[in-house]
Amino acid sequence: MQLVIIGNSAAGLSALEAFRKRDRTSPVTVITKESTIPYSRVLLPYYLRGKTTFKNLFIRSEDYYSQMGATCITDAVVKLLSEKQTLILENSAPVSYDRLLIATGSSPVKPPIPGLEGKGIHHLWTLADVENLMPCFKKGKSVVVLGSGFVSLQGAWAALSRGLDVTVVELLSRIMPNALDDHGAQILTASMKQSGVDLRINTRTLKVEQTHDGKLKLYFNNGHDLVSDFIIVGTGVRPNIDFLEGTGIEVDNGVVVNHHMKTTLPHVYAAGDVAQVPSTFGGPCVIHALWPTALETGRIAGACMAGENISYEGSLNMNVTQMFGITVASMGKFMDVEGAETWTDKTLSHGQYLKILMKDGVPVGATCAGGSELVSTLGLLRPLIREKISIQGDPAALKKMLAQNMTRYHQAYGKGASCAL
Amino acid sequence: MRFITMDIKKCVVCRNCEYACSFQHTGDFNRADSNIRVAYHDDIKICLPQTCMHCEDAWCMEICPAAAITKNEETGAVEIDSGRCAGCKMCILACPFGNIHFDKSNLISRKCNLCKGEPQCVAACISGALQYVTAGDSCRNNREIFQRFMATLHTPL
Ligand SMILES: Cc1cc2nc3c(=O)[nH]c(=O)nc-3n(C[C@H](O)[C@H](O)[C@H](O)COP(=O)(O)OP(=O)(O)OC[C@H]3O[C@@H](n4cnc5c(N)ncnc54)[C@H](O)[C@@H]3O)c2cc1C
Ligand code: SF4
């Protein structure tokens, strides 16, 4: 059985490793159009900021593929011939498969703003993007970040840390709509401004012009135009699925898969950012586009491709980052929604924020802003959200409940028995 | 395979383990730098020293986007490589026990590493609540322990 995996990032690696745990002999080919040695996208902003080294971006060793008994082809897949079970590559010979995993992730897209191309227009998505950006990250330079999502703001924070002049432009009335609730966004907004970011919400970019001294001029709907050395565009992404055209595979916002990561084409699986996967809350399939989800879905796909019949428990979004001096995190449902009870921790000191959402006594999500201890509380909640465990009373009882649970557990197995804490 | 076990009936919340841990890792006695934390719940009279369980399929280890967390084959400890950790806090978010902490001076995450097989918290425990024991029939590995933990979540109190 020949297994082919397209993509050597979170989902592809996780699939390969899960597959090899179960099948040590079948040949595996990994195809990537980027660096042969896998690197971590999550670390790119940390590298820009100088928090980690170039070497540390690479998360597997040079002899990784030989250790895994896999072959790696560095080339782009341009077409899938599903009836022939064959992939057409840009520069190399076609590759046939018995089972195929699509783990191609997504790519940033530019909004339709005239002049938003050419010199000085960047994305922050791949290693190549960061290699292009690094020379621009010089003290005293100015950058405009278009978009205020998670990745954009990490870019803004990296630029600010390096002494650049940073403007963030957001079309909507608040930052980070996919990762924070209104209150958390307000707290982060305050720290951003305090750190010296020029944050412009409710602002539409009309056009961009190259000036004759090599800079970029941005025109906005409110007339407060500005000139900048370069722009980072972080306004949205789309799945990498061009090579699937004409196959008839079901695509909605991403490649649609079931609980086994199977697509609608025979022998073809998908995982990671490219796939629209079941959610832990049931309902329609989702693309969370997060590292943990890519790992989990990759692991399920790898196991299923090796013949094991396991099902995905559903993606639970979880996000954490420290920037502009504070830590923010969220998990599950964190926006105030109808039918859910909201509990905020009133015992916290000023500037610390923790909110837990419950539905029928079961925690469904949480968000926090402030110190890293709050992040641990979200961690404790994760198994409860996943397993739909109800908390008796309000979430203030949560820590107590967990302590009691742990205690019973210790009493049952602790004394005399060989059992860890 | 050896584990740190604890007997909650014996713990007297002296916090010697916390000081010993801090001293081992930083050369100073600062409870905030300890990887073992004694949680004292006054209202329900529970004192619970908490430190890493070194899970077999550790969630922190899977999630780390820097490949900074590995299992020490010799001691069984799940360890963070401080040279690789970028301080993203994903492991803190992933730990279901709250046993990974953030080192505010070095801006990286840190956790118990079993002191290379000689846990100082156990050595400093005055009541015998903490023990470093060898795996036995009742519990062969950390995977079983984890499964039991998950099961206790489901049984009503
Ligand atoms: C700057 C940045 C910061 C981030 N920070 C976080 C964070 O803090 N937390 C978090 O949870 N998530 C974060 N993410 C998101 C996270 O990185 C992604 O969810 C994750 O990388 C998805 O993994 P994947 O394997 O599905 O796809 P990707 O990582 O996108 O990898 C896609 C792979 O497919 C290959 N490929 C694509 N098309 C082709 C083709 N046609 N032919 C051959 N190969 C192809 C690529 O070469 C690559 O190997 C961040 C992302 C970025 C860009
Ligand atoms: S904080 Fe460090 S050890 Fe923890 S997940 Fe991030 S990089 Fe890995």
Per-residue pLDDT tens over the stretch A124-169: 999 999 999 999 999 999 999 999 999 999 999 999 999 999 999 9
Q: Which ligand is nearest to the CA of A59?
A: 2
For B112, the enclosing helix (H) or strand (E) is none
Q: Per CATH, the architecture of B2-153 is what? A: 2-Layer Sandwich (3.30)
pLDDT band with cut points at 50, 70 and 90 for residue A398: confident
Q: Which residue of A has its CA nearest to B69?
A: A59
Q: Please indicate whether, in this complex, the C-beta atoms of A420 and B97 are within 8 angstroms of each other.
A: no
Q: What is the pLDDT of residue A416?
A: 38
Say yes or no to pLDDT of B140 above 80: no
Q: What is the pLDDT of residue A337?
A: 79
Fold designation for A121-233: FAD/NAD(P)-binding domain (3.50.50)
Q: Please indicate whether, in this complex, the C-beta atoms of B89 and A407 are within 8 angstroms of each other.
A: no
Cα separations in angstroms, A70 against A90, A95, A269: 21, 14, 18
- Tell how far the Cα of B80 is from the centroid of ligand 2, in angstroms: 8
Say yes or no to pLDDT of A421 above 60: no
CB A12 less than 6 A from any atom of ligand 1? yes
Cα separations in angstroms, A410 against A32, A417, B19: 48, 10, 23
Residues shown for chain B: 157
Q: What is the pLDDT of residue A412?
A: 55
Q: Please indicate whether, in this complex, the C-beta atoms of A421 and B53 are within 8 angstroms of each other.
A: yes
Nearest to B152 among A380, A405, A417 (CB): A405
pLDDT band with cut points at 50, 70 and 90 for residue A410: low
pLDDT band with cut points at 50, 70 and 90 for residue B150: confident
Complex ipTM = 0.94
Looking at ligand 2, which residue's alpha carbon is closest to its atom 3?
A: B85
Predicted confidence (pLDDT) per residue in A183-234, tens digit: 999 999 999 999 999 999 999 999 999 999 999 999 999 999 999 999 999 9
Instruction: Tell me the CATH class for A3-106+238-305.
Output: alpha beta
Whole-structure pTM value: 0.95
Structure-model confidence comparison of residues A1 and B44, the more confident one: A1
Domains A3-106+238-305 and A325-420 are alike in CATH topology:
no
Q: Per CATH, the architecture of A325-420 is what? A: 2-Layer Sandwich (3.30)
Q: What is the pLDDT of residue B22?
A: 97
Q: Which two tokens stand for residue A224?
A: 């407060």
Q: What is the mean pLDDT of chain A?
A: 93
Say yes or no to pLDDT of A351 above 90: no
- Work out the burial of residue A93: count CB atoms within 10 Å of its CB; fewer than 13 is exposed, 13-18 middle, 19 or more buried: exposed
Predicted confidence (pLDDT) per residue in B85-94, tens digit: 999 999 999 9
Domain spans, chain A: 3-106+238-305, 121-233, 325-420
Nearest to B148 among A60, A295, A409 (CB): A409
pLDDT band with cut points at 50, 70 and 90 for residue B39: confident
